[in-house]
Amino acid sequence: MSKKTKSAASFDFARWQQDARAQFSGLDPNDPSRWPALPRQLLLLVVALAVLVGLWYAVLSGMRTQLETERQRESQLRTEFTSKVAQAVNLDALRAQLEQVRQYVTQLERQLPSRAEMDALLSDINQAGIGRGLQFELFRPGQVELRDHYAELPIAVRVSGSYHDIGMFVSDVAHLSRIVTLNNLSLAPAANRPDMLTLDTTAKTFRYLDPEEVLQRQREQQQQQQAARGQR
């Protein structure tokens, strides 16, 4: 019985592969409206994913860059503020500017969860896929990487579903209240399911460091500085 099932599945796949090749042969690149259904749907999917990836990269990468830039700007302004206080020059204006920067940095930090809130964020990502009817084949958090002012958690994700549901899932993740980026996107037909697609990606979430991690990061930086001095 199992041999018959395997041979039938192999025959169905070969026939689907033949049909797919037939639909892709003789396509007129100047008139996609006359293409068969499969090439036309794949073209729409590629265009939609390209637009979504471009938007996520521009918006989310920009926010992360802004956060780092504003932190550096805050440190620079504090140094300038101390110097100006001693001279009592433009003190009120500097205070107002410093307060604006602090408020902006605080606003960006609110989009970063704490360590205790990470489980809820992971659940939100999972629920975003389930809510779109996707099947999770892989959801594996990786090793936390500590940066200067935040921690980064990569998550290996593999989901299967229709191209429309996958697109909506990606959109839902981009609209989460916390910052989540999808990297290394790979889309392919699902195994033994020609009507479904499989998305492989690495989701990256970010959170701010707790006091213990800040001290750990400072100690690591001090050790690196001491090691660099010892090599001179």
Where exactly are the structural domains of the chain? 2-35, 112-209
What's residue 132's pLDDT? 94
In the CATH scheme, what is the code of domain 112-209? 3.30.70.60
Strand partners, 197: 161, 189
Res. 16: pLDDT tops 80: no
Which pLDDT tens digit goes with each residue over 104-114?
767 766 667 77
Residue 185 is which amino acid? L
Considering the chain, what is the average pLDDT of its residues? Answer: 81
